[in-house]
């Protein structure tokens, strides 16, 4: 008998897909992944060309699902990609096409 993807795993993946449902958030994730180092909000704002408040809201959503990690640097906050999530993030095509979904590794949840 074919089994459905575990509901808790499906909910986790759905939260990831919702976090990436905005093109600006996709751009932020991609930019942070390519930079490979923590960046200030100002640096991210300069790269994506959005208002600081908008970038901050996007970063809040991305940190909630742990795609992005935040580090305190003095009074500032720097953001970096969570490499554990890059390693375990399932592609939509894999899940939809019935390939086994990767099991989240520590740090993805």
12 backbone dihedrals φ, ψ, rounded to 5° = -60, -50
Q: Which of 16-20, 58-62, 105-109 has the lowest mean pLDDT?
A: 105-109
Q: For 35, what's the count of Cα atoms within 13 Å in the CB-facing half-sphere?
A: 19
Domain boundaries, the chain: 7-95
pLDDT score of 103 more than 80: no
For the chain, what percent of residues have pLDDT higher than 70?
82
Average pLDDT of the chain is 85
Q: Is 76 helix (H, G, I), strand (E, B) or coil?
A: strand
Residue 56 CA to residue 44 CA, distance in Å, equals 9
pLDDT reading at 2 higher than 80: no
pLDDT digits (tens, 9 = 90+) for 30-40: 999 999 899 99
- Topology of domain 7-95, CATH: Arc Repressor Mutant, subunit A (1.10.10)
Report the distance separating Cα 49 and Cα 58, nearest Å: 13
């Amino acid at each position: 008998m074919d089994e459905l993807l575990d509901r808790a795993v499906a909910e986790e993946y759905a939260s990831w897909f919702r976090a990436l449902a905005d093109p600006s958030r996709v751009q932020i994730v991609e930019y942070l992944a390519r930079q490979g180092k923590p960046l200030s909000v100002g640096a991210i704002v300069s790269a994506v060309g959005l208002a600081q408040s908008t970038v901050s809201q996007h970063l809040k959503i991305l940190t909630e699902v742990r795609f992005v990690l935040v580090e305190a640097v003095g009074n500032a906050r720097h953001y970096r990609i969570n490499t554990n999530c890059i390693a375990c993030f399932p592609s939509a095509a894999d899940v939809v096409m019935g390939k086994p979904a990767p099991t989240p590794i520590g740090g993805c949840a």
